Amino acid sequence: MIACVGEGLIALVPTSSGPLETRSTFERSLAGAEWNTALALVSAGMRAAVVSCVGDDAFGRFLLAQLDRHGVDASAVEIDDEAPTGLYIKELVEGDEPGAPAHSAMHYYRSGSAGSRLSPATLRTPGAARVLAEAALVHTTGITPALSESARAAQDALFADRGGRRISFDLNWRPKLWRGREGEARSLLGGYLGAADVAQCSTHDAEVVFGTGDPDRLREMFPGPRHLVVTRDDGATAFDGSERADAPAVPSDVVETVGAGDAFAAGFLAGVLSGLSLSGCLARANRLATRALGSTRDHVD
């Protein structure tokens, strides 16, 4: 089993592109990096669970129903009767050229959300304790420690007490969450990345946070993870120790790119736990990512 630890969100996505003030209809769907990864893992044939918190509200119940529908273990998701389920509204802007993928802007309403109240105590609940005990690997991202001090403490606890589990960490840089704390973020996220067993980042995020997106330079900076994966628009580079593999992106029809990185992470992790070669892990990751590129949802269906 792979346990994915982080905040689940409701995404409200307009049914057509254009400024939000002119949009009148929206579709509701599940979102949140770790939750997207959990759904993609199940679609890749892996067992996955989510460790998180949702509000005691309609949106929280919707998210739990979506986990159930996709076959994700939700037994470690706490119900918080004091805080709401977080959400964001996606704004779709048409591509620069006809047929080009849409650009997205995310407008978040998550301050004080149930997911931001994730804490070390969450990890000790019976459901979470069971899931973590069964997990061969725990997946989390750089979003979680930015949400609150308690969420950061929960992530610290995961890294400090691994219990024989491997840790997967995806950088997932979110500048708005770290505004005014960029220096702190660089040190903190670099520490998580360096301490993970499987570490992933995009060239764009790595350039912003660490000053370089070059895979070889990043491998020099972060020699600790057995697997280091660096994604870019035209493909990815992965390391297994000193071994390196490169793979181009799989040609596909791109509707919108949000969520593709989460699906890619799931495919790579599925490959690692299935014992695939490094090239095989990249191939599986690329195939799964293409499924997230074909819709405006953040997750594979």
Strand duo 243-248 + 235-240: pairing: antiparallel
> What one-letter code names the amino acid at 18?
G
Q: What span, in angstroms and rounded, lies between the C-alpha atoms of 129 and 71?
A: 20
Number of residues in the chain: 301
Q: What span, in angstroms and rounded, lies between the C-alpha atoms of 125 and 76?
A: 8
Q: Which candidate in 73, 80, 205, 262 is catalytic?
A: 262
Query: Two tokens at 6?
Result: 């982080």
Residues 200-212 as b/e (b if ≥16 CB within 10 A, e otherwise) read bbbbebbebbbee
> What one-letter code names the amino acid at 38?
A
For residue 8, what are the CA distances in angstroms to 5, 50, 116, 127, 137?
A: 9, 9, 10, 17, 19
Can 57 be counted among the known catalytic residues? no
> What one-letter code names the amino acid at 13?
V
> What one-letter code names the amino acid at 20?
L
Q: What span, in angstroms and rounded, lies between the C-alpha atoms of 67 and 272?
A: 23
Query: Two tokens at 299?
Result: 């997750």
In terms of phi and psi (left: phi > 0; alpha: psi -120 to 50; beta: otherwise), the region of 83 is beta
The DSSP secondary-structure symbol of 274 reads T
Closest listed residue to residue 259, CA positions, set 159, 155, 141: 141
Provide the annotated active-site residues.
262
